[in-house]
Structure 1
Amino acid sequence: MSGRGDGHRWADAPRGVRVTFAVLVAIFAYGAAVHLTQLHLGGLDPYPAMPSWLAAYFGSLALLDPAAALLLALRRRAGLALGAVVLTTDALANAYANYVVDRTGGVTPGRMGQAVIAALALGLLLAAPRIAPWLNGGRDRAGRFSGR
C-alpha cells in the first residue's frame, strides 16, 4: 500500500487511510487463519460446546474473513460493508458464547477476546464514514458515481 506512482491502487489515498486499510486487511486475515485453524484442528465438530447454529456461524467465518480482507485490499465498498457485518456479528456471537453458553464466572480468555472483537467492530463502524470515500464501487470523494 505504498504510494509508488500514479497507477498504484492506493496512490491517491492519504497515508492514514492506507494504514487503516492495511490494519483492516491484517485483522481479517488473522481472523481467517484462526477460524481455518479451528476447523482443521477440530475435525467434524470444531465447536462441540456450541449450539449448531453458532458453530455454523463460527465455521462460516473461515470464508467470510478472507472475503472481507480481499475485498478491502481490492478497495471495494463491499469489503467495508462485509467487514462491518462480520465484526459486529462476530462480537455478538462471541458474547452469546461467552456469557450465555459458558456459565463460568469472572474474566476468561474468551471474554477478553470478545471484548477485543467488540472494540474492533466499534472502531470499524466509527471509521467507516471517513474511509468509505476512498473505496471504489460507489460515489467518489466529489460525489460522482464511479461505477467500479
Structure 2
Amino acid sequence: MRERWGAQPLWARWVLAVYSISFTEGTGSHIADLVRGGIHAYASFPQVSLQVFFVSLVILDPLAAVLVGLVRREGIWLASAVMVWDVSANWWGNRHWLWDDPAQLLWLLPITVFGLFVVALAVPLHCAVAGPASRSPTARPSA
C-alpha cells in the first residue's frame, strides 16, 4: 500500500486523503444517527427509499473509505456514485425547505461542496491512480 500511495502525485495523495477522511467521518455520522434513532433514524424522510439509502451508508461510506485508502480505482468511482446519490437524496428529502424556510438549506452546503469536489476530481484522480501506462494506446489491461 505504501508503494501505491508513494507512486501518486502530491495532489492525488491530498485528494485521496480528503476522500478517506471525509468518508470515515460520514461513516461515524451515520453510525451515530443509527445509535441515537435505531433503524428508524431517518424516519423524518417520508420516502422509504431515502431511509434505506441513508441506513446503507453505514456500509457504503466505509467501503469507499477503505477502497480509496487502498488506492483502488473502484473506490474513486464508488465515492463518486455515493456522493451523487447522497447529495441528491439530501436535496430531494429536504426540498420542502425551499418554500418553507430556504435558510435551513444552508446545512446542506458542506455535503454539496464535498460532493462536487468528489465528482469534479473523479476522472483526473482515476487517471492519476491508473498511472501513465494505462493511458498509452498500446497498454495492456492490468490484472
1:8-87 alignment to 2 at 5 Å? 8-51=3-46, 52-87=48-83
Please list every run of at least 4 consecutive aligned residues from structure 1 whose deviation after the TM superposition is greater than 6 angstroms: none
Identity %: 28
* Maintained 8 Å contact 2:21/2:65: yes
Q: Give 1 or 2: higher helix fraction.
A: 2
Distance 1:87 1:12, change over 3 A: same
Q: Structure 2: how far apart are the matches of 1:32 and 1:104?
A: 30
Q: Which residue of the partner structure matches residue 4 of structure 1?
A: none
**Offset at residue 22 of structure 1 (A):** 0.3
Q: Structure 2: how far apart are the matches of 1:104 and 1:36?
A: 29
Q: Which residue of the partner structure matches residue 120 of structure 2?
A: 126
Q: Structure 1: how far apart are the matches of 2:116 and 2:14?
A: 18
**Offset at residue 101 of structure 1 (A):** 7.7
- Greater relative CO (CA pairs within 8 A, separation 6+): 2
Aligned positions, number: 140
**Offset at residue 86 of structure 1 (A):** 0.5
Q: RMSD of aligned C-alpha atoms?
A: 2.4
Q: Structure 2: how far apart are the matches of 1:44 and 1:14?
A: 42
Distance 1:87 1:13, change over 3 A: same
Q: Can you give the 5+ residue segments of structure 1 that lack an aligned partner in the other structure? A: 2-6
SS at match of 2:4: coil
Q: Structure 1: how far apart are the matches of 2:76 and 2:128?
A: 11
Distance 1:59 1:101, change over 3 A: farther
Q: Structure 2: how far apart are the matches of 1:140 and 1:18?
A: 19
Q: Can you give the 5+ residue segments of structure 2 that lack an aligned partner in the other structure? A: none
* Maintained 8 Å contact 2:71/2:129: yes
> What TM-score do you get using the length of structure 1 for normalisation?
0.82
Q: Which amino acid aligns with 2:134?
A: D
> What TM-score do you get using the length of structure 2 for normalisation?
0.85
